Amino acid sequence: MDRRTKIPAAAVMVFALFLGAPFVLFAQTPHYDLLLKGGHVIDPANHIDEVRDIAVFQGKIAAVEKNIPAELAGKVVDVSKLYVTPGLIDIHYHVGHGGAPLDWFTPESRAHALPLGIPADLALQSGVTTIVDAGTAGAETFLMEKEEVIDRARVRVLAFPNIVANGMGGGLEQSLDEMDVKLCAATIKKYPDLIVGVKTAHYWTKETWDAGHAPWGAVDRAIECGTLANVPVMFDFWPRAERTYEDLILKKMRPGDIHTHVFAQQFPIILPDGKINPAMAQARARGVIFDVGHGSGSFWFRNAVTADKQGFIPDSFSTDLHAGNYTVVSMNNVMSKFLAMGVPLDDVIRRSTVNPASEIHRPDLGTLSVGKDADIAVLELLKGRFGYIDCGVAKMEGNVRLSARMTVRAGRISYDPSGLSMVDWEKARPQYFTVPDRGESLPARADDYPRD
């Protein structure tokens, strides 16, 4: 091409830019890989709560604007009448074997506990794009968890390693000798992109105290590790006369530390007179963070509903999903319970996105900011009559339910059971109707958009 042809082309491009249409020249080539069109976007990190379109390019958020032209995208998904949010973050989840021996089911095994971990990618079914393993593995077992789960999962997996080096389920959680502070801190520092804190749990809940088991033994060691590694501690705690709940949240925990299972049966959240324990507000003023950590034994309506009516809502919502409850609890289920209690939708989204991202010091997550990973949840708010249960086998009825319709993880459509992003089979391209004659033949697919 000579100079005479270059000058007019440049002039046309300048004119197009002047008109605010920088892609006019390339209308035949999509500028975005994916466009979610017409959804109600709730992005608390960016103070967005209105109908907007979201464009994705090469796995990143490319634009969050009103009325992005459909012809600019290779794949357009109509998400009107749905809510579009940052990918949800579940900071209490269990993956891998932890300390449970591989032969846990045999008579000769050192410990006989069923491994707590469930498949990490089950979280994608709730619009969750980031999970944090909450202490399943410790310093001695973290590498196995990394190689077995973290490195292979589609969902993003981070971790709070257990102060117990062997982790959970190995029969060693009551041994202070297993709580090696220096080893724990060194492991955290070795994997700063994966490890976000340290966890303590299940320590000496009922046995008589003795010389080898001080009341605050596990708590003190976890805090020491957190201080050395400069990370928060997540506490799973059982109060006793010698170590009260008030002392934990008002004296032991540091600003930024996280108390999970906040609405479990054992905590004096609600006083005998029906009022919320003033220690909760005092602890929050100190910077203590309260997390749901629902699980199979840590959520009671008698605490949650009463606290909610008095204005106390946990800072973050999480599931504590593990092998004992994954068929009952999900992130959407936990969020729906708070919606049914009357917590506004935007607040529920906040406590499932930007809040947990802040708690684990990952401001790059829980947001739809341009340039960040395209982690997106498409949610439907259903109205009707629904029943919800707690861990005390009590029921609460509600008139709302939140359901995930589609999950996008780093630009890939990772969950879409109703086919929001798919074409009607009768209108699919010819390739869909071909019968492959060999294993290496083109798959009979309606489109080539990356999916998991």
Residue 143 CB-half CA count within 13 A: 4
Task: Report yes or no on 351 lying in a domain.
Answer: yes
More confident residue, 426 or 113: 426
In angstroms, the Cα distances linking 321 to 113, 136, 401 are 16, 11, 19
Give one word for 378, left, alpha or beta, with left for phi > 0 and alpha for psi -120 to 50. Answer: beta
Helix (H, G, I), strand (E, B) or coil at 83: strand
CATH label of the domain that carries residue 149: 3.20.20.140
How large is the average pLDDT for residues 13-24?
42
Contact between 411 and 58 (Cβ < 8 Å): yes
45 within domain boundaries: no
Q: Band the pLDDT of 4: cuts 50, 70, 90.
A: very low
State the burial class of residue 318 (Cβ atoms within 10 Å of its Cβ: 0-12, 13-18, 19+).
buried
Instruction: Give the pLDDT confidence score for residue 374 in this predicted structure.
Output: 98
Residue 20 has pLDDT above 50, yes or no: no
Q: Is the pLDDT of residue 28 over 70?
A: no
Is 430 contained in some domain? no
- pLDDT score, position 30: 79
If one counts the domains in the chain, the total is 1
Does residue 428 fall inside a structural domain? no
User: Is pLDDT of 122 > 90?
Assistant: yes
In the 8-state DSSP scheme, what is residue 84?
A: E
Does residue 155 belong to any structural domain of this protein? yes
In terms of DSSP H, where are the helices of 34-169? 142-145
Residue 1 pLDDT: 38
Report if residue 422 sits inside a domain.
no
Provide the domain limits for residue 270: 87-407
Let me know: does 39 contact 85? Beta carbons within 8 Å. Answer: no
Per-residue model confidence (pLDDT) at position 437: 84
Tens-digit pLDDT profile for residues 237-289: 999 999 999 999 999 999 999 999 999 999 999 999 999 999 999 999 999 99
Whether the per-residue pLDDT at 5 is higher than 90: the answer is no
Q: What is the pLDDT of residues 318-352, one digit of tens each?
A: 999 999 999 899 999 999 999 999 999 999 999 99
The mean pLDDT value of the chain amounts to 93
Pairing of the two strands 376-389 and 83-86: antiparallel
| Model confidence band, residue 17 (pLDDT cutoffs 50, 70, 90) | very low
Model confidence, pTM: 0.92
Residue 425: inside a domain, yes or no?
Answer: no
The answer to whether residue 233 sits within a structural domain is yes
Q: Which two tokens stand for residue 158?
A: 């981070």
Residue 8 pLDDT exceeds 60? no
Tokens 């506004």, located at residue: 344
